[in-house]
């Protein structure tokens, strides 16, 4: 067996609509799924990945983490244009907490900016450095 990548991960959020609005500013698309089970859920899609959203209160999703909570995530998303990302964030009044700064991504050197989503999760947005 050999792991090949990440298909999706789950964020526990206090307000699904606020989370969707934030991540749509980054270019993600809201999609609903699960209608066939009678329990419609919300996910954010981008590229070949998705983030499922669980509400912190009132959504008994199973299985789930032992101690799901808001504001506990810290993850990195890849974009190809940090200038454009900064512009989109400024347009919706999301301050950049740090950056751009040099970091190391899974495949080499990256430049990163850091922001907080509505629940306080640390979202790193990075672009791989281009070889000249």
Structure tokens of 73?
């995530």
Q: Which of 21, 59, 97, 124 is catalytic?
A: 124
Question: How far apart are alpha carbons 122 and 91 in whole angstroms?
Answer: 19
> How far apart, in whole angstroms, are the C-alpha atoms of residue 15 and residue 58?
11
Nearest to 119, CA basis, from 41, 43, 20, 25? 20
Do 53 and 43 contact (CB within 8 A), yes or no?
A: yes
Q: Is 36 a known active-site residue?
A: no
What residues are labeled active site? Answer: 124
């Amino acid at each position: 067996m050999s792991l090949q990548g990440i298909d999706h991960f789950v964020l526990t959020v206090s307000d699904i609509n606020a989370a969707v609005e934030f991540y749509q500013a980054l270019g993600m698309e809201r999609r609903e799924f699960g209608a066939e089970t009678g329990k419609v859920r919300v996910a954010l899609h981008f590229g070949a990945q998705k983030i499922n959203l669980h509400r912190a209160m009132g959504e008994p999703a199973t299985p789930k983490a032992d101690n799901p909570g808001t504001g506990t995530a810290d993850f990195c998303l890849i974009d190809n244009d940090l200038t454009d990302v900064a512009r989109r964030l400024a347009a919706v009044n999301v301050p950049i907490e740090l950056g751009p700064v040099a970091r190391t991504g899974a495949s080499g050197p990256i430049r990163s900016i850091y922001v907080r989503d509505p629940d306080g999760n640390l979202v790193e947005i990075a672009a791989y450095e281009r070889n000249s």
